[in-house]
A = this chain, B = another copy of it.
């Protein structure tokens, strides 16, 4: 029986106007939410909106690809809110391009944001979760983590690495009571204000709908946990 006397904290790493903000808003209904991303101004705006709804939210600016910044961000979260019960790693980075297009620096950057930041975020959260024998880590992935296309010479390996990490963590931490899942968000997310030529909103994933499945995952009974899950619009080819 896990101890539930502590305040519940959810940390979302990678918060932009799409999925990150939706996940933060959804989890604010049951958790004090920490928002981690590079752009302080945007984070503050989302945090303020959440607070206006009467929930607790903390903006913690940090670059997901920088391991020292991530370590600092989680130190701040622990001090200000407490140990995260839920950690959602939602940071991702392109660019798209084939071998000829991608520089070594871009390749390394993809590995840092897609994989190293995920590793660091897990490393920062795991110890307290292991002590409590309870916790959730969700990693936002993409189809490029299952099947890497010709123009995914950097994004593909980064997403594969993130998926491999999630699998390793699930096998390590599951028996310790920590639910690790990797979500393949297969399709374009319908980000408010963004238009994709040739796509209507019916062709895209609504970020609030994705967040609903994240919430479901985070609250599955420990006798029936999901490790991998795909999410795609009903019209999406796959």
Contact = CB atoms under 8 A, between A and B. Distances in A.
Contacts of A99: 119, 122-123, 126, 168-169, 172-173
A175 interface: yes
Contacts of A160: 157, 160-161, 163-165
Interface in A150-194: 150-153, 156-165, 167-169, 171-175, 177, 179, 190
A237 to B, nearest CB: 8
A6 interface: no
B126 A104 contact: no
Interface string A178-214: 0100000000001000000000001011101110110
Contacts of A177: 234
Nearest to A173: B99
B226 A222 contact: no
B164 A156 contact: yes
A44 interface: no
Given A226-B231, A227-B238, A229-B229, A147 B173 contact: no
A122 B102 CA distance: 12
A149 interface: yes
A16 interface: no
A224 B233 contact: yes
Contacts of A238: 171, 227
Interface in A213-227: 213, 216, 220-227
A169 B153 contact: yes
Given A172-B99, A172-B150, A161 B115 contact: yes
7 contacts: A104-B123, A152-B168, A153-B172, A157-B162, A160-B164, A205-B223, A208-B221
